[in-house]
Amino acid sequence: MNTIFNKLKQEKKRKKHLEHLHKKRGAEAPRTGLAAVLANHTVRVIIDCILLAAIVLLTVFCIIPIARGRDAMEQPTVNVNSVVPANTYTDVEDLSHLDSEIICEYNNINEPYISGSDIVFSTTSIRNGVFYYDVLVHYNTETKQSTEIAHEMKYDNILQPIICGDYICYIDSSSNGGGEIAAINRQTGLQFVIKAFAYGAPTLSAEGTRIAFIQQAGESKDKLYLYDVEKRESVCLAVFDNETGAPSPVHMRDGKIVYALPYKTGSGGYASELCTIDTDTGETEKVKLDKAVSYCKLGDDRVFYTVFNGSAYDLYSISGDKDPELIAEGVLNFDTGDDFVVYTQNQNVCVRFMANGMVKQLNSSVSRGLLTCVNGTQVAWYDVTGGYGQVDAVRFVTLYDENENQT
């Protein structure tokens, strides 16, 4: 497995450099989630396990997008090299005695999203010998009952299912490119389209009854939308036209939205500017970094972001005018919760509590994990002890604070 893991990372690095430096913006962006591999109609049943193993790794690496050739405005730059070093712990306690497992009959659990006692995910059906992630499932963590949610599919695969109050939002993705963002009322079953898209699938971020996303609107144009599923109202918060590169996916928390916008440096390289928009006032705060940011997410009082180091990511945080802090090196993916950040490192799912800086491991010392989502105080991850082809074992936990979790 280590050989496959290393080969996939090397191939991903090579492909991403080519994609982000040379591809046309009009091409469909790489899909995310385990369902991405099944968006191709040529997938056959006999290679499903191999592709599922590859997709987990291939979907988590994304370097800064391609250049569009416009210099950014000059402003003070934060030197990422002048950072607070990460704390290192040689004996990390695991909190595996706190977790639970999804108990259901489905062999493929794609992109599970947890909210309270509810978990939603998509799973597969087979049509003409081809796998499609077109089944939407609700799982109750208290009753351990799973229920398939009736819905209509216009396209092929359900990606990124998330819970927004009484609604489930998701991507209905076409194998040939494009698709639509859809929503379904959990109480009435009413289904409606939020937004159609012609290029790559947007990455959704939810808070309450609102979702935020950036949609590619042309070869050199992107738009940031905020949509209220309860009111069915949409507002465009920003337009990115002929920028140096495409913005990163957005993340919404506490009424604010963050994203990273690339700019061209004086040396001819590329770096990023962190932009945070207050959805109530419309005010935008900007922090210019001297490194290219791949992903960024909001914490309670700071922004977390990753920088590609050639083989994986280094995870940083920055707060106000303080120097960036290195949280962890060699990270595969990450997500933020209530005063903690969770990340996959060395095939373990680790949590760092920001109040005291302590690091704990969520999976057991004899298992391997891959983070799938964080929501508030809750975390879900894949148990990949048997390999990355196993996507039927999902564990979850509710975290409060580091001290309480040791009782």
Of the candidates 41, 45, 40, 42, the one whose C-alpha atom is nearest the C-alpha of residue 58 is 40
- pLDDT for residue 17: 37
Q: How many CB atoms lie within 10 A of CB 350?
A: 24
From residue 211, give the alpha-carbon distance in Å to each of 44, 185, 197, 368.
34, 15, 16, 32
Q: Dihedral sign, CA of 301, 342, 30, 244?
A: positive
The 8 Å CB, 24+ separation contacts for 306-311 are 306/331, 306/334, 307/80, 308/61, 308/63, 308/64, 310/13, 311/9, 311/10, 311/13
- pTM for this prediction: 0.81
Specify the pLDDT at position 394: 96
**CA dist., res. 360 & res. 352, Å (int):** 6
Reduced to 3 states (helix: H, G, I; strand: E, B; else coil), residue 58 is: helix
Alpha-carbon gap, residue 390 to 388, rounded angstroms: 5
CATH number for the region 2-406 comes to: 2.120.10.60
Asked if residues 69 and 244 have their Cβ atoms less than 8 Å apart, the reply is yes
pLDDT at 86: 55
**In this predicted structure, what is the pLDDT of residue 268?**
87
Helices 2-22 & 48-58 angle (0-180, nearest 10): 60
Looking at residue 389, its pLDDT comes to 75
* pLDDT (tens place) for every residue of the chain, 407 residues total: 333 343 334 334 433 433 443 333 433 333 334 443 333 333 333 334 333 334 433 343 333 333 333 333 344 455 555 555 555 555 688 999 999 999 999 989 999 999 999 999 999 999 889 999 999 999 999 999 999 999 999 999 999 999 999 999 999 999 999 999 999 999 999 999 999 999 999 999 999 999 999 999 988 899 999 999 999 999 999 999 977 889 999 999 999 999 999 999 988 899 999 999 999 999 999 999 999 999 999 999 999 999 999 999 999 999 988 899 999 999 999 999 999 999 999 999 999 999 999 999 999 999 999 999 999 999 999 999 988 876 789 999 999 754 454 43
Asked if 117 contacts 142 with a C-beta cutoff of 8 angstroms, the reply is yes
For residue 160 the two structure tokens come to 């990124």
Tell how far CA 256 is from the center of its chain.
Answer: 17
Domain segments of the chain as ranges: 2-406
Q: Give me the residue label for tokens 């193993």.
A: 53
